[in-house]
Structures are given as C-alpha cells and as structure tokens.
Amino acid sequence: MRLHVCAVGRLRAGPERALIDDYATRFDRAGRGQGLGPLTLHEVEDRKGGGMAGEATLLDRALPRGALLCALDERGKQMSSPDFAALLAKWRDAGRGDAAFVIGGADGLDPALRGRADACLSFGRMVWPHMLARVMLAEQLYRAASILAGSPYHRA
C-alpha cells in the first residue's frame, strides 16, 4: 500500500525537512517487507487566498484517485502506536492500494474535506504547527512499519 502525505504549505530546507526525509527513508526501508510504501509527500499552496475551502480544493487534487483518506485533525481519534500500526495493516490487508494522510494549513481542514475522510486521527488535544505534524506523522509511520516488522524500535 502506497502512502501519501498531502499537506498545505511548502517545507523549506531546515530541521523539519531533514527529520521528515530521514523518517521517510526509514519508513521506505522498514515498510517494504510489510507491503507498505513508498511514502510520498504532496505539498500544495493556496496562492489565491481561498482559505480552508481553497486549500481543500488543492488537497483534493493532490489525493491519488481511490485513496483511503485519513484526516489529521485535533478532533480526530487518539490512538497508541501499536493501534496505529494495526490500522495500517488492516487497510493494507483490505487491499487498499493507496492511503493519503491530509494535513491542513494554519486554520485546519475544511469541514467538508474532513467529513469525507475514512478516518480522522489526532496527535492529542493540543494543536500542533502543521510542519511539526508532518514530522510526527512521518515518525509514526516509521514506528508503525517497525512494529509490524517486529523491530525493537518501539519499546512499550
């Protein structure tokens, strides 16, 4: 199952970019034997100032056709890393070819896009900058692949 991170805003070179690239590389290695990957980042920018609705239109265009949609949102479900790994495995085992994780801009995700999501995931009740949310997602994807592979990376 190919994984996609579809996010508003462009990451510039810097510590967040370095972390995402590192975790994406780790995920691709760990996930390959688990039927997961590669991980692709799709970035969109709302240059016309259309707000959440404009961002949702751009995100929708970035989504692979037929992809399972998982919205990252503070109102989403909180889960443990092993539960997240099990969810990815369930999607993979159901024959889903693509899963897309969607991260909105500064104002979050458009309610209509969030409402279409197959799943809604939260990294906690606190609000995180969307650049850090990408890093956290990339790390959790790597952790999930490691859990599924039986790697000692996750210690709980």
Please indicate, yes or no, if residue 67 is contained in any of the structural domains.
yes
Residues 107 and 51 sit within 8 Å (Cβ to Cβ) = yes
pLDDT in tens, 79-121: 999 999 999 999 999 999 999 999 999 889 999 999 999 999 9
Residue 156: inside a domain, yes or no?
no
The share of the chain scoring above pLDDT 90, in percent, equals 83
* CATH number for position 136: 3.40.1280.10
Which structural domain, as residue segments, surrounds residue 56?
A: 12-149
